[in-house]
Structure 1
């Protein structure tokens, strides 16, 4: 499964407020430039949570029991992230890339069927 998601400034402002992570590098263009970025960068936890949410929206009978993510590169706000999910022996391999093809993050979701 592959899903593309445009990550907007507004989404990051809302996430920053909800998570209380209001670090300037995520919200302020000048601070991001001072750190060597063209624009503010997306919170890593936002990327991870979004990936889980996208997976579960396509697999509503499943539950994520564990996850492991490694972040390789920052993703700039106002970019498209491409989430790819591959089933591998009961684990879901998740890779997040930028439109440029650079890998942003990768990891594994352990899933199981929900108990009702």
Structure 2
């Protein structure tokens, strides 16, 4: 599933999460920390991955999750979330617009009651 991560979405997330670290919101602060531009919050990516999966599989509940961050995801870029089932878990792969691996991990599921 492809999504565009906008600066506005990150500003909103920073506000509600109270994580207003400058590397997420300010180009100069991000550059001073070694990034090309502001980076997306890791928890935003984790929440988005869960939300995207559950929107397609509403009968399932996520009981545990793990996501390892490998490369930064920059604000105002496209990202692709891929979900594949392996041994009853869902493997999550997050790739950036250039095909670079951003993060990978798993969702552990339980069937819900409908």
Sort the TM-score into its range (normalised by shorter chain). Answer: over 0.9
Q: CA RMSD in A?
A: 0.8
Equivalent in 43, 46, 69 of residue 44 of structure 2: 46
- Cα offset for 1:113? 1.0
Q: Which runs of no fewer than 5 residues in structure 1 stay unpaired?
A: none
Partner of 1:71: 69
Tell me the matched-pair count.
114
SS in 1 for 2:15: helix
CA distance in 2, matches of 1:102, 1:7: 16
Alignment partner, residue 102 of structure 2: 104
Q: Which runs of 4+ in 1 moved over 4 A?
A: none
Structure 2's unaligned 5+ residue stretches are: none
How much does 1:64 deviate? 0.2
Normalised by the length of structure 1, the TM-score is 0.95
Aligned pairs for 1:6-21 within 5 A: 6-21=4-19
- The DSSP-based 3-state class of the residue aligned with 1:82 is strand
Q: Tell me, what secondary structure is at the counterpart of 2:8? A: helix
Match of 1:95 in 2: 93
Residue 115 of structure 1 and its aligned partner are, at CA, apart by 2.6
Q: Distance in 1 between matches of 2:63 and 2:32?
A: 39
| CA distance in structure 1 between the partners assigned to 2:23 and 2:14 by the alignment | 11
TM-score (norm 2): 0.97
Partner of 1:46, secondary structure, is helix
The answer for the alignment partner of 1:59 in structure 2 is 57
Shift of 1:79: 0.5
Query: What is the CA deviation profile of residues 22-54 of structure 1, one whole-angstrom value per residue up to 9, with x for unaligned ones?
Result: 000000011011112221000000001000000
- Look up the match of 2:34: 36
